[in-house]
């Protein structure tokens, strides 16, 4: 091939992951997208040249130009240094008599298996070199790897969002648990206070019952015929329960009730 930087093709065959190969792969991917979108409908000779340029040497050359010079154009009238890219020679020669084209050295041209010729694509260069086929496969794999990397990054972002949501939900659940514990504690305290009040009330009732004075019921002294002044108690009970016989005997022997009545 007679375009600039094509000596770099052979050098980078054994260097997968090189930026030049990545750039070439991206160009091929872009070309395939345009082709699938129907951008190329002309099937004539110009279409054949366009396909060869986009899928083979052209992708190499354009990617190399952009990598080394940072631009899409190159002054072919001056020697161009490869720089850090080792290609078997530090520079190659251009043909000022043929603007836009360049020739490569015999060493590189022989390695590429292409004709050393200035001008348009030769008949030999109309079929992609095996190097290009191999690199095209790598470019597709590299493109798939980039897509997978983007998908993984997207999944990582989604996982981070889900982690934040999970943290917020856990925090909210902890707050609800604390509120439930507080309400449970209040309920237990109220039940204990109610039980304590009930015990105190029961204690007061027992104390009142134990220390209460026995108030005898109203009595009627009824005369008993044949017994003189003997009489017996005929209690008239209101609401109090009747006193025991022992209590009645005690108060009867004393002669007076505790309230002072005879």
Please give the Cα distance from 231 to 35 (Å, whole number).
Answer: 136
**Ramachandran category for residue 88: left, alpha or beta (phi over 0 → left; psi -120 to 50 → alpha):** left
Q: Which tokens go with 120?
A: 């348009």
Lowest mean pLDDT among 55-59, 91-95, 182-186: 91-95
Has residue 90 got a pLDDT over 60?
A: no
Instruction: Count CB-CB contacts under 10 A for residue 13.
Output: 17
| Residue 76 pLDDT | 44
Q: DSSP assignment, residue 40?
A: -
Longest distance between any two alpha carbons in the chain, whole Å: 173
Q: Could you read off the pLDDT of 98-121 as tens digits, one per residue?
A: 333 333 333 333 333 333 333 333
Residue count (the chain): 262
pLDDT band at 49 (very low <50, low <70, confident <90, very high): low
Task: Give the start-end residues of each E strand in 96-178.
Answer: none
* Residue, of 234 and 25, whose pLDDT is higher: 25
Burial class (CB in 10 A: 0-12, 13-18, 19+), 50: middle
Name the residue among 86, 81, 88, 93 with its Cα closest to residue 118.
93
| Residue 205 pLDDT | 77
User: Could you tell me what percent of the chain has a pLDDT over 90?
Assistant: 15
Name the residue among 128, 82, 130, 103 with its Cα closest to residue 1.
103
Round the average pLDDT of the chain to a whole number and report it.
Answer: 62
Has residue 51 got a pLDDT over 80?
A: no
Has residue 170 got a pLDDT over 90?
A: yes
Three-state DSSP at 41 gives: coil
| Residue 256 pLDDT | 56
**Phi, psi for residue 12 in degrees, rounded to 5:** -90, 5
**Phi, psi for residue 15 in degrees, rounded to 5:** -125, 70
Cα Rg, the chain, nearest whole Å: 57
């Amino acid at each position: 091939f007679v375009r600039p930087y094509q000596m770099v093709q052979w050098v980078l065959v054994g260097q997968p992951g090189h930026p030049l190969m990545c750039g070439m792969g991206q160009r091929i991917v872009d070309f395939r997208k345009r082709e699938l979108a129907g951008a190329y409908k002309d099937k004539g000779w110009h279409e054949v040249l366009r396909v060869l340029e986009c899928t083979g040497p052209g992708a190499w050359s354009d990617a190399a130009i952009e990598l080394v010079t940072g631009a899409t154009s190159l002054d072919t009238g001056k020697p161009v240094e490869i720089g850090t890219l080792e290609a078997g020679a530090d520079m190659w020669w251009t043909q000022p008599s043929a603007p836009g084209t360049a020739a490569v050295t015999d060493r590189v041209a022989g390695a590429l298996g292409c004709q050393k010729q200035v001008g348009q694509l030769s008949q030999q260069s109309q079929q992609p070199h095996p190097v290009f086929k191999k690199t095209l496969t790598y470019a597709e794999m590299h493109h798939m790897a980039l897509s997978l990397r983007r998908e993984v990054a997207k999944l990582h972002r989604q996982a981070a969002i889900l982690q934040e949501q999970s943290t917020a939900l856990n925090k909210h659940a902890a707050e609800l648990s604390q509120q439930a514990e507080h309400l449970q504690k209040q309920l237990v305290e109220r039940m204990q206070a109610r039980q304590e009040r009930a015990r105190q009330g029961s204690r007061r009732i027992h104390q009142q019952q134990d220390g209460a004075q026995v108030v005898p019921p109203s009595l009627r002294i009824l005369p008993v015929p044949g017994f003189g002044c003997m009489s017996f108690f005929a209690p008239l009970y209101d609401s109090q329960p009747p006193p025991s016989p022992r209590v009645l005997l005690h108060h009867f022997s004393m002669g007076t009730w505790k309230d002072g009545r005879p």
